[in-house]
């Protein structure tokens, strides 16, 4: 028994970082490759914290964890097909990736969504019947949207491929964005597709009304530099103003090594009663401080591989920064009271210098309700450490927190986070996990992570990312680490 107690202590004990913070931090291992039926290098670790559990996703499987005991809900991770098979949607089953889990704060429900692309393309969404994964009444309600007719075709007549979908909660719909890639042009992004799903009926288990979708540009042309639109996702209990359109944000990739000085804003207004009144507007440029996307190469903007590991000098393997886009989530929060305001947070990977493939770090932005830039900044940098693939959120007191990966010539891919007071506080960085292993056979380091906020206390941040244990990255044996922490001033 004492052995088991010691093991629990090391798995769940608070992790302190000398001299870095006075913060209550706990972390524990989530799903690892040995628990997944078909494990690849593309992990896509993400998840969300709910009222009673944390729910984690790793590309093809999910697992829940009790928030108090941190014990897993299921004896082993559930296959990602489970919600769809249970609802008679076998066409939504298969080892397809790009899964995302969110928690609908406004309705206290889980939402699990993923794409499928086998012969035809579709997007599949499951909404839970309750907020408790262990309740006897718990079930998933599943829905699907065929995409082929909405995406268009390549110049050679081949159907485009929906890639990198992201889903978010808004008051009047679940909003989803897709990159449309051309299989005849090495899967380069040539357009985007955004859709609004009938949240009201999906929450009740009724048949959903036809999703409303818009494609931009209407016809495919050259590679689309403003790809990967992220929909705003609500945190907290205050819904957006009635009738407020959903907002999307995207990068504006540069055409020169001097970088870019703008983001793109978009809005989608949905009218469920009169669909022809629905409008998708954008892009509207948003001026920001100049930046060069992480790992940017002018001659090959699609190549975002430049993150070194200690083994890179011998393997020539560099990790993907996914620096050519903004990173999940586009976190929205509405503050009421004496100083009402709306706040949107987003983050990306940028280069510290202008030299191609130079050190990377995290750039963050806060936007206001008018679509104006409120504040922005960067987290550390110029210390030989590559920071990349961030995810950001804020608590009820306006403290922002971003989690991200770090790596370098002498630093194995590890997990860190930082917090600060908005709008322009100085970020305090701390270590979540310092790894001792590289991923030596693949540049894929997931494609995104997720920072979410506990809907009960509205203070505790939960973050998930991946790592390797020991110098064993020649095999598919990744692990994931889930952490929770609270900024000391939030009560």
Q: What is the CATH number of the domain that holds 464?
A: 2.130.10
* Residue 48 belongs to some domain of the structure: yes
| Residue 300 within a domain | yes
pLDDT of residue 286: 97
Region of residue 352 (phi > 0: left; psi between -120 and 50: alpha; otherwise: beta): alpha
Structure tokens at 283: 């892009």
Give pLDDT, residue 421: 96
pLDDT above 80: residue 354: no
State yes or no: pLDDT of 10 exceeds 90.
Answer: no
* Domain assignment of residue 78, yes or no: yes
Rounded CA-CA distance 491/488 in Å is: 8
Percentage of the chain lying above the pLDDT 90 cut: 81
| Cβ atoms within 10 Å of 128's Cβ, excluding its own | 24
491 is a domain residue: no
Q: What is the mean pLDDT of residues 122-146?
A: 97
For 188, half-sphere exposure in the C-beta direction (CA atoms, 13 angstrom radius) is 16
Residues 6+ apart with CB under 8 A from 253: 225, 226, 227, 260, 293, 301, 324
Greater confidence (379 vs 8) lies with 379
CA gap 394, 337 in Å, rounded: 17
Q: To the nearest whole number, what is the mean pLDDT of the chain? A: 92
How much of the chain, in percent, has pLDDT values that exceed 70? 95
Segment 330-344 mean pLDDT: 96
Q: How confident is the model at residue 9 (pLDDT cuts 50, 70, 90)?
A: very low
Lowest-confidence region among 76-90, 114-128, 140-154, 468-482: 468-482
Does residue 123 lie in a domain region?
Answer: yes
What is the three-class DSSP state of 162? strand
Is the pTM higher than 0.85? The answer reads: yes
Q: What is the pLDDT of residues 253-296, one digit of tens each?
A: 887 778 899 999 999 999 999 999 999 999 999 999 999 999 99
More confident residue, 332 or 96: 332
Number of helices (H), then strands (E), in the chain: 5, 30
Residues 422, 394: Cα–Cα separation, whole Å? 9
Residue 21: its pLDDT value, please?
A: 55
Q: Which domain holds residue 320?
A: 2-486
pLDDT tier, 472 (very low <50, low <70, confident <90, very high otherwise): low
Taking CA 260 as the corner, what is the angle to CA 256 and CA 263, rounded to the nearest 5 degrees? 145
Residue 224: is it exposed, middle or buried by C-beta count within 10 angstroms (0-12/13-18/19+)? buried
The Cα–Cα gap between 108 and 124 comes to 20
Residue 228 lies in a domain: yes
Residue 155 placed within a domain: yes
Phi–psi pair at 313, nearest 5 degrees: -60, -25
Could you tell me if residue 395 is inside a domain? yes
Structural domains counted in the chain: 1
End-to-end Cα distance, the chain = 36
Q: What is the pLDDT of residue 11?
A: 40
pLDDT of 1 reads: 38
Tell me the CA distances in angstroms from 40 to 91, 104, 174, 388, 407, one per residue in order.
Answer: 22, 29, 29, 21, 21
């Amino acid at each position: 028994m004492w052995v088991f107690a010691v093991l629990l202590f090391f798995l769940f004990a608070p992790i302190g970082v000398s001299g870095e913070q006075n913060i209550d931090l706990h972390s524990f291992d989530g799903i690892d490759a040995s628990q997944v039926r078909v494990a690849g290098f593309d992990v896509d670790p993400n998840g969300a914290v709910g009222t009673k559990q944390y729910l984690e996703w790793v590309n093809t499987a999910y697992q829940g964890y009790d928030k108090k005991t941190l014990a897993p809900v299921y004896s082993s991770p559930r296959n990602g097909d489970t919600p769809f098979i249970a609802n008679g949607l076998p066409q939504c089953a298969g080892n397809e990736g790009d899964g995302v889990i969110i928690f609908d704060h406004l309705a206290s429900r889980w939402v699990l969504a993923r794409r499928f692309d086998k012969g035809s393309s579709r997007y599949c969404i499951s909404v839970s019947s309750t907020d408790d994964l262990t309740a006897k009444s718990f079930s998933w309600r599943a829905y699907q949207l065929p995409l082929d007719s909405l995406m268009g075709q390549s110049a050679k007549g081949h159907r485009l491929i929906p890639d990198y979908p992201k889903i978010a909660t808004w008051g009047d719909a679940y909003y989803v964005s897709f990159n449309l890639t051309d299989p005849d042009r090495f899967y380069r992004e040539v357009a985007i597709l955004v859709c609004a799903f009938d949240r009201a009926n999906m929450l009740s288990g009724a048949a959903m009304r036809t999703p409303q979708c818009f494609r931009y540009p209407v016809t495919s042309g050259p590679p689309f530099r403003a790809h990967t639109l992220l929909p705003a996702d609500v945190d907290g209990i205050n819904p957006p103003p009635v009738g407020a359109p959903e907002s999307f944000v995207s990068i504006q990739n540069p055409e020169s090594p001097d970088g870019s000085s703008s983001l793109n804003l978009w809005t989608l207004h949905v009218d469920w009663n009169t669909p022809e009144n629905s409008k998708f507007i954008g892009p509207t440029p948003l001026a920001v401080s100049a930046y060069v996307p992480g790992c940017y190469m002018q001659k090959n903007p699609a190549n975002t591989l430049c993150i070194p590991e200690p083994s890179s000098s011998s393997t020539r393997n560099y990790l993907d920064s996914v620096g050519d886009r903004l990173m999940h989530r586009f976190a929205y929060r509405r503050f009421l009271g004496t100083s009402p305001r709306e706040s949107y947070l987003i983050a990306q990977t940028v280069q510290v210098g202008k030299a191609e493939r130079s050190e990377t770090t995290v750039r963050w932005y806060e936007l206001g309700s008018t679509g104006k830039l409120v504040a922005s900044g960067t987290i550390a940098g110029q210390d030989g450490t590559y920071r990349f693939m961030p995810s950001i959120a804020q608590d009820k007191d306006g403290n922002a927190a971003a989690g991200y990966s770090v790596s370098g010539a002498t630093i194995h891919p590890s997990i860190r986070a930082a917090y600060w007071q908005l709008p322009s506080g100085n970020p305090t960085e701390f270590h979540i996990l310092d790894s001792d292993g590289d991923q030596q056979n693949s540049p894929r380091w997931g494609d995104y992570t997720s920072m979410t906020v506990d809907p009960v206390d509205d203070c505790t941040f939960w973050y998930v990312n991946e790592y390797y244990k020991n110098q064993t990255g020649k095999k598919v044996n990744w692990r994931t680490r889930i952490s929770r922490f609270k900024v000391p001033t939030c009560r």
